[in-house]
Amino acid sequence: MNLEFSESERRFRAEVQEFLREHLPATLSTKVLGLKRLTRDDLMSWHRTLYAKGWSAPPWPREFGGPGWTAVEQHIFDEECARAGAPPLIPFGVRMVAPVIMQFGSREQQEYFLPRILSGEHAWCQGYSEPGAGSDLASLTTRAQRQGDHYIVNGQKTWNTLGHFADWIFCLVRTDSQARQQEGISFLLIDMKSPGITVRPIPLIDGEHEVNDIFFDNVEVPVGNRIGAENKGWTYAKYLLGHERVNIAQVGQARRELSRLKQLAARELSGGRPLLEDTRFRDRIAAVEIDLLALEITVMRVLSAEAARRDPGAESSVLKIRGAEIQQTLSELMMQAVGHYAVAYIPEALEVGWRAADGTEQDWPAFSSRYFNLRKTTIYSGSNEIQRNIIARRILGL
């Protein structure tokens, strides 16, 4: 396998770097690189900037308005955006529901929803997990009863990420309570402005508002907003989850944080010698860097399958496991690298302009928040234990 980039790929990297230098506002990159709190406007303004360039949907084929990039070009773009400190694209529209609409949606659904996802007019969120249905998603109980040309939806979704930012939500709902669990589920697209929807924040362990409970009280949803056939939503859900797990790998961000870790570990804190001089700590950094390289190669393989319009398959479970574990390991090593400076959690430090008692602007108070936040990566999108079961069945044949 040739791991060297071709001349055209190096030119593409230079093009991305030039675009980022010219169009990424310093106010945004400062927030991202300093681990500051991002607003909806921060995320959507960057989406609109990318849309103007034709780059707001890296994995999309040209026929639906995407750039039609190769797997390598997608990887280069993600890597350079992460290195420069660009805000992430909200994945629920571009990387999750859009592939489902492309593959299983009607022509009318494709023509209505895809351009609005592409432009950023519609921000999306996901309605999968429920209080009694997390990793055992097929046991969900949110009901959708058909009445003429509408469904009436009642129930609750939980651990909903960025629902307070969203215009639309894609939901798994039970449309046949008599069928086997997986066979009585449908996939609905629901306008978040519909009467009867209530969004309630769930404060996380770091005190931040990222996830929500969403309640549906007799919410009317047109039948035309159902993807594919009634009671076949489990098929579409599995397809979507494969794309979600690919996105969790976050190789570009992990590379950026690895570089930050090395810089921190090379500093002398409180008069002590740099932690990078400790052999065992260097070994841990080396181990995570090797894991990250292996993850990067696997991501390229899966992106190649996506570019060929193939289901990511069980390989996406490998990305979910290793990507989540690498993110957690980096956050743990970051905490160790700054020692007692990482103990204090200061919410105000997540805002631009906060300064420490000595008058300097430090990012170390955000490390504990990031550490706490990343505890969830091995749970969401199907826990890592569930992913190992998938690998055992579908790849190893056990």
Could you read off the pLDDT of 20-35 as tens digits, one per residue? 999 999 999 999 998 8
Q: Which of 43, 30, 54 is nearest to 91 (CA)?
A: 43
* pLDDT confidence band for 351 (50 / 70 / 90): confident
Q: Which of 104, 397, 398, 108 is nearest to 234 (CA)?
A: 104
Please state the pTM of the whole predicted model.
Answer: 0.86
235: nearest Cα among 188, 182, 189, 190: 182
**Residue ranges of domains in the chain:** 7-89, 124-231, 249-394
Please state, as a whole number, how many other Cβ atoms lie within 10 Å of the Cβ of residue 363: 17
- Tell me what the mean pLDDT of segment 145-151 comes to: 96
Q: What angle do CA 84, 88, 91 make, to 5 degrees?
A: 155
Q: From CA 128, how far away is CA 237, in angstroms rounded?
A: 9
Task: State the DSSP H helix or E strand holding residue 144, giving kind and residue range, or none if neither.
Answer: strand 143-147
Predicted confidence at residue 391, as pLDDT, reads: 83
Specify the pLDDT at position 245: 63
* Dist. CA 120–CA 94, nearest whole Å: 9
Q: What is the per-residue pLDDT for 340?
A: 78
Residue 179 has phi, psi (to 5 degrees) of: -80, 165
Q: Would you state the pLDDT for residue 362?
A: 67
Task: Give the pLDDT band (50/70/90) at residue 131.
Answer: very high
CA neighbor of 253 nearest in space, from 378, 95, 84: 84
Q: Residue 277's pLDDT band (boundaries 50, 70, 90)?
A: confident
pLDDT of 364 over the 50 cut: yes
Average confidence (pLDDT) over 127-146:
88
Radius of gyration (C-alpha) of the chain in whole angstroms: 22
Average pLDDT over residues 200-220: 93
Whole-number average pLDDT of the chain: 88
Please answer whether residues 98 and 57 qualify as being in contact, where contact means their C-beta atoms are separated by less than 8 angstroms: yes
* C-alpha span between 257 and 189 (Å, rounded): 36
Give the pLDDT confidence of 298-319 residue by residue, as tens digits: 887 777 766 666 666 677 788 8
Q: What is the pLDDT of residue 64?
A: 96
Q: How far apart are CA 222 and CA 55, in angstroms?
A: 32
Q: Per-residue pLDDT for 386 more than 90?
A: no
- pLDDT at residue 278 greater than cutoff 70: yes
* For the chain, percent of residues with pLDDT exceeding 90: 57
Statement: residue 209 has pLDDT above 50: yes
Looking at the domain that runs over 249-394, which CATH code has it been given? 1.20.140.10
Identify the band that residue 350 occupies on the pLDDT scale cut at 50, 70 and 90: confident
**According to the model, what pLDDT value does residue 244 have?**
62
Longest dimension (CA), the chain: 73
What average pLDDT does this structure show over 195-200? 98
Check pLDDT > 60 for residue 2.
no
239, 103 Cβ separation under 8 angstroms: yes
Q: Which positions are catalytic?
A: 244
Residue with tokens 């039970």: 174
What pLDDT was estimated at residue 252? 87
Which residue type does 286 have? A
Q: Please report the pLDDT score of residue 1 as a whole number.
A: 47
pLDDT at 136: 76
- End-to-end CA distance of the chain, in Å? 29
CB atoms < 10 A from the CB of 181, how many?
15
Pick the CATH number of 124-231 from 3.30.70.890, 2.40.110.10, 3.30.70.20, 3.40.1010.10: 2.40.110.10
Percent of the chain with pLDDT over 70: 91
Q: Is 354 helix (H, G, I), strand (E, B) or coil?
A: coil
pLDDT of 110 higher than 50: yes
Give me the pLDDT at residue 360, please: 63
pLDDT bin (cut points 50, 70, 90) of residue 379 is confident
- Is the confidence at residue 378, as pLDDT, over 60? yes
pLDDT band at 177 (very low <50, low <70, confident <90, very high): confident
The Cα–Cα gap between 71 and 97 comes to: 20
Cβ(79)–Cβ(255) below 8 Å: yes
Q: What is the pLDDT of residue 342?
A: 76
Average pLDDT over residues 364-385: 82
Residue 311: per-residue pLDDT: 65
Phi/psi at 42 (5° precision)? -60, -50
DSSP3 helix / strand / coil % (the chain, rounded to 5): 55, 15, 30
